[in-house]
Amino acid sequence: MTTFRLAHLSDLQLPPPPLPFRWRDAASKRLLSRFAWRRKQHRHLQAVLDAIAADVAARAPDHIAITGDVINFATPEEFAAARQWLEALGAPDHITVSPGNHDALSAAGAPKGFEPWKPWLSDGAEGGFPYLRVRGPVALVNLSSAVPTALHLAQGTLGRAQIEAAGRLLRESGERGLYRVVLLHHPVARGVVAGRKALTDAEALRAMLAETGAELVLHGHAHEALMTSTPGPRGAIPILAVPAASTPAGGRGQPARWNEIAITAEDRRFRTEVTARGITPTLAVETLGSFVLC
């Protein structure tokens, strides 16, 4: 019997370092987003994120999954600062990052293919998403729904090629008897977020999952603790989301939380137990509850 513990956190929205003014930003979505950040920066605090990260490290999971919005404006300075933060959190082979819409806010000046984070995206695979990372009994199928969008939109898109490739990875992993976890930023189930924030090809992703199956889907974006599902070939596939990992308790929005997911494998059968850990007003992190998925 083997138990693999996977930590899931999302929507870090690391406070940006000092950013120079660039004329190209004045004609992009970044300018409006920087004004919005000034109004909302109290909703994402470094001290809260540091407390969550310290709690994750103290519990020493086997792997950490971060489902996007690591940064805010997709500037080169933010990518570099976030890389330093990731390095402090753990080795690249110990952490998988699935980018979010803020990580791809604007194509202008942003590193192509999230290059500074490449070691945290895959195990060195050539080409683009999806990436497969196998850790013990678990297959992490890492997708990217992060694409630049127009003003006032926060949608995501996977694209037909990525969905088809993900389907192949899920089938192959299932044949190997692995516990398959799909990682992406945007919600998969219907009605979780408004249309302007939704995954544009969620229906195609759901159709693929209904055919190939998966044991678990993890996402962020909604800034809420959620448990939804989507049909699979042998029953419903559970989908979990967590609030933003930098949101303080007592403020607007659900306070920061992360999930510790214990996957126990025995004779190609799995048991999944989830423990939620959340921030308090004093910046302590405590267990909020636990439940068994299957």
Report pLDDT digits (tens) over 133-142: 999 999 999 9
**pLDDT computed for residue 91 by the predictor:** 96
Which percentage of the chain shows pLDDT scores above 90? 76
Average pLDDT over the chain, rounded to whole?
A: 90
Which is more confident, 94 or 108? 94
- What's the number of domains the chain is made of? 1
**pLDDT computed for residue 108 by the predictor:** 47
Encoded amino acid at 146, one letter:
A
CATH number of domain containing 110 = 3.60.21.10
pLDDT digits (tens, 9 = 90+) for 67-94: 999 998 888 889 999 999 999 999 999 9
Residues of the domain holding 6: 2-16+23-292
Phi, psi of 152, rounded to the nearest 5 degrees: 70, 10
Q: What's the Cα-to-Cα distance from 289 to each of 224, 245, 273, 281, rounded to whole Å? A: 16, 17, 11, 18
pLDDT digits (tens, 9 = 90+) for 13-43: 998 866 554 535 544 555 455 545 555 656 7
d(CA 40, CA 36): 6
Phi, psi of 188, rounded to the nearest 5 degrees: -100, -40
Strand partners, 65: 8, 96
199 DSSP assignment = B
d(CA 148, CA 103): 9
Q: Specify the residue for token string 């799995």.
A: 270
**pLDDT computed for residue 27 by the predictor:** 44
Could you give the dihedral angle defined by the CA atoms of residues 132, 134, 138 and 140, in that order, rounded to the nearest 10 degrees?
-20
User: For residue 228, what are its two tokens?
Assistant: 């939804």
How sure is the predictor about 113, in pLDDT bands with cuts at 50, 70 and 90? confident
User: For residue 159, what are its two tokens?
Assistant: 């694209």
Encoded amino acid at 222, one letter:
A
Phi, psi of 83, rounded to the nearest 5 degrees: -60, -40
pTM: 0.91
Strand partners, 271: 264
Q: Specify the residue for token string 């196998």.
A: 134
pLDDT greater than 80 at residue 189? yes
Closest by Cα among 6, 5, 3, 7 to 258:
7
pLDDT greater than 70 at residue 212? yes
Residues constituting the chain? 294
Determine the average pLDDT of the residues in 48-52: 97
d(CA 62, CA 115): 25
SS3 call for 80: helix
User: For residue 41, what are its two tokens?
Assistant: 């920066």
131, 121 contact by CB (below 8 A):
yes
pLDDT greater than 90 at residue 225? yes
pLDDT greater than 90 at residue 47? yes
